[in-house]
Amino acid sequence: MGTAGTMSNQENNQQLIGWSKIVMINTGFWKQPISESKSVQLCFEVYSVLVKLGYILLWILLTAEIIRMFLNDYPDQIKFQALGAGFSATLMGMKMLIYQKYDIMEMINDVIEKEKEVWGSTSEEIHNVYRVKIRVCKAYVLIIGGFLAGGFSYFQISGAFAMVELKHQNLINNQTIEPNFMYLTLFPRDRLSNLYITFGLQAIWSWVGYNFGTMTHVVFLTLLTYSASQLEILQVKLKNFIGPDDFIADVSDAQYNEKISVLKNLIEDHKYIIGFVEHLNDCTKYIILMEYCLNSLNIASVSLNIIKMELSLSEIVWRLSFVIQLCAQVFILGWSCNEVKVQSETVADALYDSRWHLLNKEGKQLVQIMIARAQRPLTLTIGDFGPMTNDSSVLIVKAAYSYVSLFS
């Protein structure tokens, strides 16, 4: 009963990360118990190892197939298709290595602990702020996961139909054309003669690719949303730490000291958020740099394919949806980073809007120090370069347009 109650309490304090948690469980990166049942937990631990090994095997087979294609001088279009899949898998792997190196998943524990404080608060305004952020996180998972699910579904279903059709054509024309659909991984046997095995492996690769692709995006976005939510909640507390009924009569030193104690706690909260965002930036700034540099190239290359290649209507729709997905990722990342910057700049305004002028000399000095500290905005940077903001997202799309104009 006690264990079940503990698990229930944990679920109540995981609403912000609720949907992201599902993706982390699917990739085996969730660090906390998922059930009070030992057998279920053991199954999850075994699955966690297998799904990570699945990703490593996928990357090895993609790389081996790319090498084989170049050694056997396959057509350029097929080689570039294989290179694109291998490149995406490599990029996912680099992100996961960064997450592992800096223990990004451990930062999720901070989110859970702080959420306890949110629901323990008596302020409905704080609850409403947090509920909005929960909806934002769910929207991120829906958008990122939805686009990837649609892309993978089209990629695999259309590839499966194409392989069945090619097998039929080979039998009619007595030919041995090799299929180049779906994930182009090394396969020691004839794919068309082993369709069930091929489709089974493709289903595994799709599960691995979809979940790892989604996880590498939504975990970072969840942490950004959490950072912005903590800054907004801090603003609510700062505005209201001196109530309208405080200091209306003769004020004793005990009353001043009580408010100064509250203010000192809020200053500690602010310092915690600053440390959290700075640590997050140190861990992820090179991920943002990769996204910044590569997304413009990806958008441009897919757009050039649409413009220059003779494609069927379904292929055009597939590539257009991929461009929309890339643009959505770019602008969601930019908006999330920008939101942290904006909310950090508003902390000083929130404190200034409070009744700080009613404090004694010590209280006013603390207010001045906190306002001065809040003048430096918290930013997520593009590597060691400038901050990632909405303007940065626009620059990525402009760069992609310039590449398209140059080569078209």
Q: Is residue 302 part of a domain?
A: yes
> Per residue in 183-207, pLDDT tens?
778 888 888 888 888 888 888 988 9
Q: Count CB-CB contacts under 10 A for residue 165.
A: 12
Name the pLDDT band for 55 (thresholds 50, 70, 90): very high
Q: Is residue 57 part of a domain?
A: no
The CB-side HSE value for 124 (13 A sphere, CA atoms) comes to: 0
**Number of domains making up the chain:** 1
Residue type, 177: I
> Could you tell me if residue 354 is inside a domain?
yes
Asked, for residue 369, whether it belongs to a domain, the answer is yes
Question: pLDDT tens for residues 142-170?
Answer: 999 888 888 888 878 887 888 888 888 87
Residue 18 inside a domain? The answer is no
- Name which residue leads in pLDDT, 373 or 319: 373
Q: Which two tokens stand for residue 193?
A: 């003669």
> What is the residue type of 152?
F
Tokens of 270: 């602010």
Give a yes or no: residue 193 inside a domain: no
CA torsion, points 163, 169, 174, 179, in degrees to nearest 10? -20
Q: What is the DSSP string of 373-384?
A: HTTS----BSTT
122: helix, coil or strand? coil
Domain of residue 374, residue span: 241-408
Q: Is residue 273 assigned to a domain? A: yes
Is residue 267 a part of any domain in this protein?
A: yes
Q: Is the pLDDT of residue 279 over 50?
A: yes
Phi and psi torsions of 294, nearest 5°: -90, -30
- Residue 9 C-alpha from the chain's centroid: 25
